[in-house]
């Protein structure tokens, strides 16, 4: 059985993330979208909110589950029996960073491989950081995130203004 994880912060989930989830879900038997609890960052959405949003956006994919984790991705992958880590590449700069992590992970656990997928061209520029920046100024994010999530994103910034 091919079991993979697609780790990330997904704060917030974008069309680029969803594209990667859909594409990688077709390549494996089971895909776990693994939301990292990153204590070094101050996220816009709580872990629970991100899990809920991703569950809503992937409920049509029967082989996809959403979970959160704390710690090293390689350790989490091993703990759930995943033998593939899915990573998306937008640009050459992503590749250098991701390659270093993949090679390190391979030394830590040679049973787990990293599968790189290039981002679909229409999402090559897109990141959660860009979405948050635009939304913080009330800009139009409809081309970057599902309509169901837009109100939640804008609401986070409205609360911050009060």
Assign 159 a pLDDT band (cuts: 50, 70, 90).
Answer: low
pLDDT tens per residue across span 10-55? 999 999 999 999 999 999 999 999 999 987 788 999 999 999 999 9
pTM check: above 0.85:
yes
Residue 84 β-bridge partners: 4, 113
Which residues are designated catalytic? 17, 41, 90, 128
């Amino acid at each position: 059985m091919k079991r993979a994880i697609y780790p990330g912060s997904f704060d917030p989930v974008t069309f680029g993330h969803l594209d990667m989830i859909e594409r990688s879900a077709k390549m494996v038997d089971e895909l776990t979208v693994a939301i990292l609890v990153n204590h070094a960052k101050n996220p816009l959405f709580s872990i629970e909110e991100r899990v809920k949003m991703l569950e809503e956006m992937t409920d049509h994919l029967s082989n996809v589950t959403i979970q959160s984790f704390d710690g090293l991705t390689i350790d989490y992958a091993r703990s759930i029996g995943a033998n593939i880590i899915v990573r998306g590449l937008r640009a050459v700069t992503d590749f250098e960073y991701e390659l270093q992590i993949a090679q390190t992970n391979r030394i830590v656990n040679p049973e787990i491989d990293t599968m790189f997928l290039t981002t679909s061209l229409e999402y090559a520029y897109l990141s959660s950081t860009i979405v948050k920046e635009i939304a913080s100024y009330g800009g139009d994010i409809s081309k970057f995130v599902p309509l169901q999530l837009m109100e939640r994103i804008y609401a986070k910034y409205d609360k911050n203004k009060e």
